[in-house]
Structure 1
């Protein structure tokens, strides 16, 4: 066994980041979500129907049948209007349909429904919100959304927070230039 084989996963990630300045340590060490409060949804008939309709809608969306998918997502919300995940699902579909304002409204509703929880549904809504905010150029609001999702346990959000950190970006740029042998930072 070589000395490199004895290194921890974290130590290997640090070495990788040194030799590849574009690598993010989290890419190697934190690829799994770890939600603090990932309680199961109720198993009432309304919730189960909503989940089934959302799943059917997702399948239709994958097949490119976006309008039909939207009908199923609407039914999913009607079946269980307090199910935050249904709003997340429809928001994702609306984003695919380039209906960002409607998607944002669904995300706002999902966040209202999860205001007192630190759940997967909340983290997913925050991540989608962050993506939409970045698209709109609202970097600070996006960073705040990703930061909250990261504290809940979203690995995607953690990576976004690192990527959006202007100091980390500058450090990566400087390290990259040093490793290439550039003399001046641009």
Structure 2
């Protein structure tokens, strides 16, 4: 989310958990993200878009989702070449249950960040992965793998979770650590 630099890590984690329905506070407090620094344009339209998106996020946080959507729509319109605006709006669209619209925004964000290695691309890939996973689409793992390569701690966890061999090893390790005598596979 844009304009969150002044928040504590815990506050940021709470917001991430709100906008990522698959996450818990424990999952996102120390997610180990290592995104490359992105250079955003500093044009008037990009500044306006960042400001509108920050307002939209605040409205969403206060439960005013339809107002938030109107403001985020304006944020996208202000700078239609700004991938982060599509990411922000896609998060809200997911909350509203409008997964097809969210997917369209994520596809646009991914298209706009083609060849880039920053946060906006990783977040779009993570969100698309979540939607694909919810739909039972096996390509979710590929999205998470690409986002993990870009530095997303959340995506790294998802890649492991979606790996059947890792899941089996984790189950066995958990059983050993819990002192179970009869290991079941």
TM range (shorter): 0.7 to 0.9
Q: Paired residue for 2:172, among 162, 171, 174?
A: 174
Q: How many equivalent residue pairs? A: 156
Q: CA deviation at 1:176?
A: 2.7
Per-residue displacement from partner, 1:90-147 (whole Å, max 9, x unpaired)?
0000001010010000000000000121111000000001111111111x21110000
Shift, 1:184, TM fit: 4.7
Deviation at 1:155, TM superposition (A): 1.1
Answer whether contact 2:126 2:155 (CA < 8 A) is retained.
yes
Q: Where do 5+ consecutive residues of structure 2 fail to align?
A: 1-26
Task: Return the alpha-carbon distance in structure 2 between the equivalents of residues 82 and 53 of structure 1.
Answer: 15
Superposed CA RMSD: 1.5
Q: CA deviation at 1:185?
A: 1.8
| Structure 2 counterpart of 1:149 | 147
Give the match for residue 88 of structure 1. Answer: 87
Aligned partner of 2:112 in structure 1 is 113
Matched, 1:35 2:21: no
SS in 2 for 1:89: helix
Q: Runs of 5+ in structure 1 lacking a partner? A: 1-26
Cα shift at 1:159: 1.2
The ranges of structure 1 where at least 4 consecutive aligned residues each deviate by more than 3 angstroms after the TM superposition are none
The alignment's TM-score, normalised by the length of structure 2, stands at 0.80
Distance 2:96 2:31 in 1: 29
- Looking at structure 2, the residues matched to 33 and 153 of structure 1 have their Cα atoms a distance apart, in angstroms, of 5
**Is the partner of 2:34 in helix, strand or coil?**
coil
From the superposition, tell whether residues 174 and 133 of structure 1 become closer, same or farther in structure 2 (CA, over 3 Å).
Answer: same
Distance 2:110 2:127 in 1: 11
Alignment TM-score, normalising by the size of structure 1: 0.79
For the pair shown, which has the larger CA radius of gyration, 1 or 2? 1
